[in-house]
Amino acid sequence: MEIILDSPLDMHLHLRDGDMLQRVAPLSAQTFSAGLVMPNLVPPVTSKEMVLSYKERIQEATKGEVFEPYMTLFFRPEYDYDFLREVKEDILAIKLYPAGITTNSEDGVDNFSVEALAPVLEAMSELGIPLCVHGETNGFVMDREAEFIPIYERIAKRFPDLTIVMEHITTKEAVDALVRYDNLYATITLHHLYITLDDVAGGLLRPHLFCKPIAKRPEDRMALRKVAFMAHEKVMFGSDSAPHPRHKKEAPGCAAGVFTAPVALAALAQIFDEAGVLDNLQKFVSDNARRIYGVTPPKKEVTLLKEPFEVPPSYGDVVPMFGGETLRWRVGSVL
């Protein structure tokens, strides 16, 4: 049994920089046609020069692969219309992080009043630049995403022409919000389709499954699976693959992030196959994102086979999801 995917896309991807970039970027570029690259480096990507420089480093790291890095800017309230117009052709979206809520987000936004954000959001709306958001408050960890929904709603109402992507949604409340506003969309990760909080901390702590936003309840996972498996027109795949070296994961102050880049397509095929909806995988991993973002990715044909895939226990010093386990699907060929 096999399935052929046309130009699969990862619309939420962390490639890091330096040695880590060299290690993990090729693993995404081998099987994905393009990826939306997050800007939360140290320092964050906040200028045209930084965008172009980072893109050049990614292309150098993925040399020889057909892979387009879709670039993003780190949201800053001081961006003006002229700056955004100048950088528009070099980015696909702007990523907004609440201050201090996840990895390298200390320089994020701490005032979410619509008036404080309005100048940038008005310019983005006029220029057709999508807004991607890590939607969490600093409240109780299980409630942070649900508490952020009213902020999404205020922005969606005030800026109806602004494309807003709720990144890596994890809750039933976020799924419900999708249908209330025409301009709200979402990415869903591989790991949030597979796990709940019980998988992370219900027995011995599994640090390589710890992420932000944290995995939630079974009913939340069920809501995510429902819209993903039907390839709902407003959701798309974004891995949020977030590599950290083993010593930062297996330590006090465990770094947040699940590394899924090398297993993403095989594991997606497995879970879609189990649900009897394998025919919907193409829409979830490519077609919906093309329409939502208005992109035409490079041509890449990926054949997935229903054959065992023994996942390596690590890639260098980075441990992947399912490391040391065997998946029932694998990548066969890439053309």
Active-site annotation, residues: 240
What's the one-letter identity of residue 185? Y
Phi, psi of 186 (to 5 degrees): -155, 150
Give dist(CA 147, CA 137) in Å, integer.
Answer: 6
| Closest CA relative to residue 88, chosen from 125, 34, 128 | 128
| Closest CA relative to residue 263, chosen from 333, 189, 331 | 331
| Closest CA relative to residue 59, chosen from 48, 50, 71, 68 | 68
| Closest CA relative to residue 329, chosen from 190, 140, 142, 145 | 190
Q: Are 125 and 161 in contact (CB under 8 A)?
A: yes
Largest CA distance in the chain: 54
The radius of gyration computed from the CA coordinates of the chain, to the nearest angstrom, equals 19
